[in-house]
Amino acid sequence: MSLPIFARKQAMSRQTVDLLFDDLTKQPIADGEGKTIRFMYAGITYEIDLTNENERVFAAAMAPYIAVARRADLQTQLQDLREELKSPRARALVRAWAAANGLSVAPRGRIPSEVLEAYASRAK
């Protein structure tokens, strides 16, 4: 039995297109002509979308600082933090910081690694 014409459903499709824009020039970035750059300064992680040309300018501006900088090892920071967290006061500070920053952490028990990583990476 066939349905009346008003009861038939037509198949529909939807296509979502994500366009990347250069955050400096506000111009669209053609596919393969740019990228998202992630960097950290003063304990805060940033992301910026740049064309390949602006990424080269960014890299050139950062080069003298990177040349004399030391790489920070997050695992070393976490190890130091875990040692520090043997104190109940330190654990309370981490829990308070997590709650203030919208991170879920139980009032007792183990503090999740994601929370510890975020705390270790925070602005000091």
Structural domains of the chain, with CATH:
20-68 (3.30.60.230), 74-120 (4.10.320)
Residue 34: strand pairing partners? 51
- Spatial separation of the C-alpha atoms in residues 30 and 20, rounded to whole Å: 8
- Spatial separation of the C-alpha atoms in residues 120 and 16, rounded to whole Å: 37
* pLDDT digit string, tens, across residues 48-95: 999 999 999 999 999 999 999 887 776 777 777 777 777 888 888 889
* pLDDT digit string, tens, across residues 11-56: 778 888 788 899 999 999 998 899 989 888 876 778 899 999 999 9
Q: Name the pTM for this structure.
A: 0.49
